[in-house]
Amino acid sequence: MSATLRRRIVISVAVFVAAVCVGAALGAGGDGDGKGKYLVRATFDNASFIIPGEDVKVAGVVVGSIDALDVDAQNRAVVVLRIDDPAFKPFRKDATCRVGLQSLIGEQFVECDPTKERGAGKALAPELTTIKDGDPGAGQHPLPLGQTSSPVGVDLLQNIMRVPQRQRLPLILNELGAGVSGNGEELNQAIKRASPVLQKADELVATLASQDKMLGKLTDDSDEILASLSDRRTDIGKFIKNAGDAGTATARHGDALEANFAKLPAFLKELGPATDRLGAFSDQASAAIDGFASEAASVNEATELLGPALKQGTPTLTSLGKVADQGRNTFPALLKDAQQINKLGTSLEPVGENLAKLSTSLDQTGSIESLMRLIYFYVGAINGEDSSGHYTRTALGFNSCVDRSPAFEDLGACSMQFIPPEEGSEDDASAARAKTSSALLGYLMGDGK
């Protein structure tokens, strides 16, 4: 069989499958006015075995159901999807939908992606437009054919081997081969839409073609990397084992890690200003670091000389450690004494306050200066000097001041008492004080009276 004939057979089979799918779609109908609902009007090449009420899913989660089936002006299948979950409304212009197998008995569902994933800071695609009033599917949101796919079921391919389909297939291949050869581009598009894998394969091939130089370099670099890894395969094996142990240990603390991740956003929010300040500090420290770099040789030499000093200081540090060990026993024993001293200090606090008041009073009234003046004049009064040297003026007095008496009847020379104001007039008190002072001065001077 020639290559041309084989190509025509393949094309004819694909056309037959597409014709069967379209025929099944023509037999289905429905309505979908979209009033009060969020309805997506998705166009498919093939909607066979799709019935209203089947699930509409996003990432495996049911978000709605198939509301109705219809056929557009080009005789293509139209599936109206009712989206009930508000979290997946609205669909964007980059949304995609595909037909999937619901069960082994042939039931199917529709899997959709309301929009493509985008990185942080990138705007979302616009929302799907709304069909105007008067047009088929008014109020619904159209999803074009280029963004849908309906894979051909295995059961349809197996039907070709049954009678009478397998008898009719050669007739179709013989009669339609020439017609199909003139519509290769349309057939190619239909085959691609029928298989999402082919769509992604074309994108993959295009991407690889644009990165051929990089891939070539990657291959060359991979040879060197794999050679190095081969030499250290034992270390890699140990790494994998240790990584497994670390993963097991991490799994045991899953709840704690989850709590840490919950606190991570707030930590990162606080970390931002800190990193800014750290960056400013590093900028300012660049000059100092450059200065250290110019003195690197001296710093290295000082570091080398520091080694012997540290070695000699080791015994001292060891001795300090022993002292610290003894202090663990000494300081707890001193704790009781410290507590008793603390209690004593609390008890002496009133005495200290009184002493403070006394010293303040003595300082403010000049008592200290007066006492010093008394001592000075007293010493000068009893100190005498003659041709023989210094002598002290003393005298042995025999008078009433020598005798001990419980009380004095008169106001003699030795009666040095303060006269209360109520016992005499002010003049009498002054005269008595003057007399007492004169007698005391005479006594100090050695009169003995």
- CA pair distance 449, 445, nearest whole angstrom: 10
Specify if 342 maps to a domain: no
Q: Report the domain count for the chain.
A: 3
Asked if the structure places residue 129 within a domain, the reply is yes
How confident is the model at residue 19, as a pLDDT?
44
Cis preceding linkage at 315, omega within 30: no
Q: Do 35 and 12 reside in the same domain of the chain?
A: yes
CA distance 311 to 33: 91
95 and 135 share a domain? yes
Residue 199: count of CB within 10 angstroms of its CB = 15
> pTM of the predicted model, to two decimals?
0.35
Please indicate, yes or no, whether residues 234 and 122 belong to a single structural domain of this protein: no
Last residue of a domain, one of 188, 210, 232: 210
Contact 90, 128 (CB under 8 A): yes
> Which domain does 247 fall in, by range?
216-273
178 shares a domain with 117: yes
Structure tokens at 94: 């980059």
- Same-domain status, 170 and 233: no
124 and 185 fall within a common domain:
yes
Residue 409 lies in a domain: yes
Q: Does one domain contain both 183 and 269?
A: no
Residue 113 placed within a domain: yes
Q: What is the end-to-end Cα distance of the chain in Å, rounded?
A: 167
pLDDT score of 358 = 85
Please indicate, yes or no, whether residues 381 and 425 belong to a single structural domain of this protein. yes
Lookup result for tokens 């800014």: 276
**Per-residue pLDDT at 60:** 87
* Helix 184-194 with 3-26: angle, nearest 10 deg: 60
Q: Cα(55)–Cα(102) distance, rounded to whole angstroms? A: 9
The verdict on residue 279 lying in a domain is no
- Measuring CA to CA, how many Å separate 80 from each of 28, 52, 76? 12, 9, 13
Look at residue 83 and give its three-state secondary structure: strand
136 plus 157 within the same structural domain: yes
Q: Do residue 156 and residue 242 come from a single domain?
A: no
For residue 223, what are its two tokens?
């040879």
For 25, the 3-state DSSP assignment is helix
Q: Which of 192, 210, 228 is the last residue of a domain?
A: 210
Tokens of 26: 């023509």
Q: Are residues 386 and 417 in the same domain?
A: yes
pLDDT on residue 420: 54
Let me know if residue 301 belongs to a domain. no
**Does some domain include residue 380?**
yes
pLDDT by position in tens, the chain (length 449): 444 444 444 444 444 444 444 444 433 333 334 456 899 999 988 887 788 999 999 988 999 999 999 998 888 899 999 999 988 889 999 999 988 877 666 678 999 999 988 777 788 889 999 999 888 888 999 999 888 887 766 677 777 778 887 788 787 777 766 666 667 777 676 666 655 556 666 677 777 777 777 877 888 888 888 888 888 888 888 888 899 888 888 888 888 888 888 888 888 888 888 888 888 888 888 877 877 777 788 888 888 888 887 788 888 888 888 888 888 888 888 888 888 888 888 888 888 888 888 888 888 888 888 888 888 888 878 877 788 887 777 665 555 555 544 454 554 555 555 455 555 555 565 565 555 555 555 555 555 44
Residue 251 located in a structural domain: yes
Shared-domain flag, residues 245 and 125:
no
Which of residues 253, 273, 293 is at a domain's end?
A: 273
Q: Provide the pairing of β-strand 141-143 with 77-83.
A: unpaired
